[in-house]
Structure 1
Amino acid sequence: MRELSGKVAVVTGAASGIGRALAVRFAAEGMSLMLADVDPGGLAETARLAGDTKVLTQITDVSDEDSVRHLADRAFGELGAVHLLCNNAGVYQGGHLWTRTPEDFTWLLGVNLWGVLHGVGAFVPRMIEQDTEGHIVNTVSVAGLLAGPRAGGYAVSKYAALAASQSLAHDLIATGSKLRVTALCPGAVRTRINRSERVRPVHLAVAPGPDDLDQQGRVDAAVDKGIDPSRVADMVVAAVHEERFLLITHPEHETGLRRQTEILLAGGLPPL
């Protein structure tokens, strides 16, 4: 997808972090925007930062199919088309896998996996019908490539999101679609992912345990040292232009992925 100017982009999780950076970057490219999040204040601020481009906003819970379909109806109905879909909304929770509750998995999978699946179901058929160039960017995570300790629930949701992205990319090619897919796998980025509990639904709330609290400090430190979200947005635009499927934001994770593959093929457990 070489030309972005005059096209329409949809971004979920647009109230902060990578989602906000994507919105601002797409606006600079001359795109119209449909922005979604559960945080109305942050969403309004992102719309303001987008400047003079046409911007629509919608409070959207990506874990809810009807909410995402309403978002798609507005985008196609009021903007006429969708050329770039960023299923970006995501939440994080640390802690050992055996301490995760059903409520934890419902929340993590609801946003990180079902948010992608609902976005694909609501938008992609209509994007295919447009019969124009288009692109889907699914924000996965390096945790969807390199699973480690103290974040098993998160890794499960992100591995699944990567599988969904890869299957989608193959499906689109197999059916002759002009749409392409990027699986965005960021490492540490200065976002608010480490404060995801602020948007956790009350009916899924669970008191944090000792392992959650222990991991919180580690994640806080990683986020503080992370790269700026604007750098990720620049990489995404380049990936869309190049039709790149896998986008890894940190070179050291490319090295880790190669090493992991070699060790897995030898039957071993990859080290951290």
Structure 2
Amino acid sequence: MRELSGKVAVVTGAASGIGRALALRFAAEGMTLMLADVDHGGLARTAALAGRETRVLTQITDVSDAWAVRHLANRCFGELRAVHVLCNNAGVFQGGHMWTRGEEDFAWLLGVNVWGVLHGIREFVPRMIAQDTEGHIVNTVSVAGLFTSPGTGGYAVGKHAALAASLSLAQDLAATGSRLRVTALCPGAVRTRIAESDRSRPAGLPATPTPDEVDSRERAGRAAERGIEPSEVADLAVKAIHEERFLLLTDPRYADRLRAQTETLLTGDVPP
């Protein structure tokens, strides 16, 4: 998809971090934007920044809620008449050992990180196919969809599922001759507030932090502080859209790590 100017982009999780960076980057490309998030204040701030360059619409949306995503899609196609780039970007993090995560934790993690992607695919992709135009779906997966590490099991489960959904979507689109393409965006450490995801946890899903969770959250926060800027991720995402690239790694060293992990798995061992 070479030309973005004049096209329509939808970004979930647009109130901060990578989502905000994607919105600003698309605005600089001359795209019309529909931005969604559960954070009213952050979403308004992103819209104000992006709106200096282009037309921006916003919608408070909990992507774990199928009805909310359907409402978002209905509004997009009703008011903007088309969607050319869909970024299923909303995501949340919670750490801790696999055996200390409760049902409420997995309900939240999988609701946003997996069902958010699935709802986006279900509500937008059929209508994007019907447009019969070039289009692109960017799913923010994370390197946690490729690698696991101690203390991040619940998050990794969801992100591995998001990668599988992205790959399956890409294969289905290719098999049916669709003009749509898919990118699985797999960033590593990025300077975002992902370690503070509890700020958006629904009140109906209470949690009592465990020591292992607190430790994992602190490690994630330190990693984020050392990470790359969200704007760098957005630049890479636009490049991937232009080049119709499926797997997007934000650090070339991840390719070597992925090869090493595959080799270790083939020996029957557990990757470090």
Q: TM-score, normalised by structure 1?
A: 0.99
CA positional deviation for 1:159: 0.2
Cα separation, 2, equivalents of 1:21 and 1:218: 23
Identical counterparts, % of pairs: 72
Post-superposition Cα deviations, 1:112-154, rounded to whole Å, max 9, x if no partner, equal 0000000000000000000000000000010000011101000
Query: 2:204 aligns to what SS in structure 1?
Result: helix
List aligned pairs for 1:111-126, cutoff 5 A: 111-126=112-127
Contact between 2:28 and 2:53, CA under 8 Å: does it hold in 1?
A: no
List aligned pairs for 1:64-83, cutoff 5 A: 64-83=65-84
Post-superposition Cα deviations, 1:156-183, rounded to whole Å, max 9, x if no partner, equal 0000000000000000000110000000
Cα separation, 2, equivalents of 1:52 and 1:253: 34
CA positional deviation for 1:220: 1.1
Contact between 2:138 and 2:184, CA under 8 Å: does it hold in 1?
A: yes
Matched length: 271
Query: 1:58 aligns to what SS in structure 2?
Result: strand
List aligned pairs for 1:125-204, cutoff 5 A: 125-204=126-205
- Any runs of at least 4 consecutive aligned residues in structure 1 with deviations exceeding 6 A, and if so which? none
Equivalence for 2:258: 257
Cα separation, 2, equivalents of 1:123 and 1:166: 17
Contact between 2:11 and 2:34, CA under 8 Å: does it hold in 1?
A: yes
Equivalence for 2:100: 99
Equivalence for 1:17: 17
The residue type paired with residue 64 of structure 2 is S
Cα separation, 2, equivalents of 1:207 and 1:93: 12
Cα separation, 1, equivalents of 2:123 and 2:56: 20
CA positional deviation for 1:52: 3.2
The residue type paired with residue 70 of structure 1 is H
Structure 1 stretches lacking a partner, 5+ long: none
1:44 aligns with 2:41: no
The residue type paired with residue 252 of structure 2 is P
Equivalence for 2:27: 27
Cα separation, 1, equivalents of 2:166 and 2:217: 28
Equivalence for 2:224: 223
Query: 2:82 aligns to what SS in structure 1?
Result: coil
The residue type paired with residue 33 of structure 2 is L
Query: 1:202 aligns to what SS in structure 2?
Result: coil
Equivalence for 2:63: 62
Query: 2:185 aligns to what SS in structure 1?
Result: strand
The residue type paired with residue 129 of structure 2 is I
Cα separation, 1, equivalents of 2:53 and 2:161: 37
The residue type paired with residue 99 of structure 1 is T
The RMSD of aligned alpha carbons is: 0.6
Query: 1:9 aligns to what SS in structure 2?
Result: strand
